[in-house]
Structure 1
Amino acid sequence: MQKILVVEDDQLIQRSLKEALELKDYEVIQAFNVKQTLEIMNSSIDLIIMDIQLPDGNGISLCQHIRENYRTPLLFLTCKNSEQSIVEGLSAGGDDYVCKPFGIQELYARIQSLLRRIPVNQDIIYTADLKIDTKNYQVYKNGQLLDLTNVCYHILLCLIQHHGMVITRQNLLDLVESQTQHFIEDNTLSVHMKRIRQTLGTYHGQSYIETLRGVGYRWGQ
């Protein structure tokens, strides 16, 4: 049974989330503030659902603190719905962001997407009509080897490994620089994304990559 830590100070929302998640056979662990979250947090937790406004602190800072030790998928569930708040949450290490009020079916879908994350050390990854050979840094579409630069490969791999999650532009820049040891400018990232899309083409008439304007990108297949 997968464990979900819900960090929310509103008793009614906590109770509603617990009941809804248990209907889907998730084990729910509850925390009502920052202090409790830090006491409860451990590597056995599969997913975190977190509010930003907490009585003894801020969810953004708490997320940054958690990211120092854990890569557990984290979904912000909050009434703060401005673009700036969304960017701050994702840049702090959040994997997805849902605004209140929310639909429970949408929340279920977001949770399932986060829990489907592909392991980083998987040698062969299949998604849609693509095959990614992570040992040889090669990408195939319907058996045909695609011509991708090293930078484009790492961007693509990051998006695929975090299937369904929003990856901010800054996170992509940081990842590519750490993998390639090459500085990548922000406007250059847009060029690389365009090249990736052109190389991949479409799948059933749809782009593989979804753009969230002002935020980042998400692998949609």
Structure 2
Amino acid sequence: MAKDFIINYEKELCHRQRIGNKMFKILIVEDDTQMNQAMKLFFTKNGYQVFQAKNCREAGQIVYEEPDIIIADIGLPDGMGIDWYQSLSGDKKAPVIFLTAKDEDEDILAGYDAGCEEYVTKPISPKILLKKVEVILKRNTDSGNMLYYKDLKIDYEKKRVWMEEKEIKLTPKEWKLLELLSRNKGKIITKDLLLNQIWDIDDNYVEEHAVTVSISRLRKKMGKDAEGIYIKNIFGLGYTFGE
């Protein structure tokens, strides 16, 4: 398989696998140095940011880079790739493709029981592996749990926000504002609706100024271009997210 990658990776077109300005990150966990390096060159050429590990210990350190997808060999020098993946905490568990030379039913079932997206037996064509990665990323991106828009990344499930790969800390109301606006991308959301949905849950009177102040603080945290690119004021009507 390493030979296939070394021969074929130079022939592949650069797909630039991005959503907005997002470059997807792959963690490759493979103890075969030649194979690991071949995959790095191949996926880098195809527009991915690649992190490498050759054992469970290194992978456990690099996973804090928050890869979007993991490609991991089953048999590693210091343990089983399946066991390592299962040991990850929930917020570190990116989708995983297991690579292995084992094609016994029990091995394949163990991989799927561990939560893998794909269980791939070697050898595999680089183009096929690339397509599997693309399909998994698209499926997870389109699931409704994530939003990538320009330099902004929102994880709705974990209630986390990043701008240019740097995490932004939001207050509960700022999060609710951003969630409501971004989930209705391109639609005008009135101030009255924002007040009713976020502030006035107990039918208590809240001044309209509260929305303006919170939007201003949210934009400030998102950066100097937030007003023109992300959260726009539609005069006399309300606010909209995106173009």
Tell me the TM-score range normalised by the shorter chain.
0.5 to 0.7
Matched, 1:21 2:43: yes
Deviations 1:13-56 (A, max 9, x none): 00110111111011110000010011111263111000000000
SS of 1:38's equivalent in the other structure is helix
Partner of 2:88: helix, strand, or coil?
Answer: helix
Which protein shows a greater Rg? Answer: 2
Contact 2:101 2:122 (C-alpha < 8 Å) held by counterparts: yes
Tell me the residue number matched to 1:32. Answer: 54
Match of 1:98 in 2: 120
Residue aligning to 1:42? 64
Equivalent residues, number = 122
On the 8 A contact 1:4/1:47 being kept in 2, the answer is yes
Alpha-carbon distance in 1 for matches of 2:49, 2:78: 25
Contact 1:63 1:94 in 2 (8 A): no
Q: Which position in structure 2 is the counterpart of 1:5?
A: 27
Query: Out of 84, 87, 95, which is 2:109 matched to?
Result: 87
Question: Given the superposition, is the C-alpha separation of residues 45 and 121 from structure 1 closer, same or farther in structure 2, using an over 3 Å criterion?
Answer: closer
| 1:108 equivalenced with 2:130 (yes/no) | yes
**C-alpha distance in 2, partners of 1:4/1:10?**
17
- Say yes or no: does 1:119 pair with 2:143: yes
**What is the aligned partner in structure 2 of residue 58 from structure 1?**
80
8 Å Cα contact 1:75-1:98 kept in structure 2: yes
TM-score (norm 2): 0.48
Q: Give the partner amino acid of 2:83.
A: S
**Post-superposition CA distance 1:172-196 (Å, at most 9, x none):** xxxxxxxxxxxxxxxxxxxxxxxxx
- TM-score, length of structure 1 as denominator length: 0.52
Pick closer, same or farther for the CA change 1:71–1:39 going to 2, 3 Å. Answer: closer
Is contact 2:63-2:92 (8 Å) kept?
no
Conserved 8 A contact 2:85-2:93: no
| Cα displacement (A) at 1:84 | 1.2
Task: Give the conservation status (yes or no) of the 8 Å contact 1:43–1:70.
Answer: no
Query: CA deviation digits over 1:140-181, x for unaligned, max 9?
Result: xxxxxxxxxxxxxxxxxxxxxxxxxxxxxxxxxxxxxxxxxx
**Runs of 4+ off more than 3 Å:** none
CA apart distance, 1:120? 4.1
Structure 1: 5+ residue stretches without partners: 123-221
Across the aligned residues of Structure 1 and Structure 2, the Cα RMSD in angstroms comes to: 1.6
How far did residue 71 of structure 1 move? 3.5
State the identity %: 35
